[in-house]
Amino acid sequence: MSTTPERKAVLHRMVMPDHLCPFGLKSKDLLERNGYTIEDHHLKTREETDAFREKHDVKTTPQTFINGERIGGYDDLRIFLGIDPPKDQQSDTSYTPVIAIFSVCALLGLGLSLGIYGTILSWQAFQWFVSLSMSVLAIQKLQDIEKFSTMFLNYDLLARRWVPYSKLYPFGEALAGILMTAGVLNWLSAPVALFIGTVGAVSVFKAVYIDKRELKCACVGGSSNVPLGFVSLTENLMMIFMGLWMGLRAFGV
């Protein structure tokens, strides 16, 4: 009868009275979940850590060894286990932040509709999805308004002509999103959403589809790795739609 050979790994990580390395814990958990028996070595002092780094000629810990071969730190371990692609194949762009925001806001809209109207299939659910998305995206921008404005100036046509607009934009988006969620002051929220959405859509379309520029989108803040393009255009088109819809409601059309 054949037996599967035991998979062993040697892990060196910092476990000090005042510091427990989070990447060491993550490496340990990752190895355990992939069926490895771990020989867990704790580096309990700064002197032990420095001596280990010098001995193995490494700059950071944790360090994982499998079959006598040094795999490296946590990121290297993820690549070794096939969770992440090799570094030369990794992209510096990601849609994860946008997917997370839109998914949660969609579920919030459906949840509100279910709780208030007893059904998830309502027109109000879609309105809440858009208004909540606007509000959460505004929060992302307001976390570091300086970084946002710097990235925003790369492509927004109005901000390039009047720089203060780059800092006013997230406040306008937040105001419109909050008022639309509450369903009040449509006469104010509608023109704000329509204006910033129209300027944004034209700016994105020109930068991406006419000028063919490859830029990062400021839609989720100034540290975004989201490519400027379809997602950014969709965000602005949603604001235009909501601006038109809430405007019609404000005037009883």
pLDDT > 70? residue 90: no
* CA angle, residues 27, 29, 33, in degrees to nearest 5: 120
Q: What is the DSSP string of 235-250?
A: HHHHHHHHHHHHHHHH
135, 113 Cβ separation under 8 angstroms:
no
Using a 10 angstrom Cβ sphere, with 0-12 exposed, 13-18 middle and 19 or more buried, the burial of residue 82 is: exposed
* CA angle, residues 101, 105, 109, in degrees to nearest 5: 170
The per-residue pLDDT for 2 is 44
Fold designation for 7-89: Glutaredoxin (3.40.30)
Q: What is the DSSP string of 145-180?
A: HHHHHHHHTTT-HHHHHSTTHHHHHHHHHHHHHHHH
**Domain spans, the chain:** 7-89, 96-250
Of 77-81, 146-150, 211-215, 246-250, the range with the lowest mean pLDDT is 246-250
The whole-model pTM stands at: 0.78
Q: What are the pLDDT digits (tens) for 23-57? A: 999 999 999 999 999 999 999 999 999 999 999 99
**Distance, CA of 143 to CA of 134 (rounded, Å):** 15
Average the pLDDT over 204-232 and give the result. 81
Q: What are the pLDDT digits (tens) for 132-151? A: 999 999 999 999 999 999 98
Residue 41, strand partner residues: 12
**Distance, CA of 148 to CA of 221 (rounded, Å):** 5
The mean of the pLDDT values for the chain is 88
Q: Which residues in the chain belong to E strands, given as ranges? A: 7-16, 19-20, 36-43, 63-66, 69-72
Percent of the chain whose predicted confidence (pLDDT) is above 90: 60
**Distance, CA of 40 to CA of 173 (rounded, Å):** 50
SS3 117: helix
SS3 64: strand
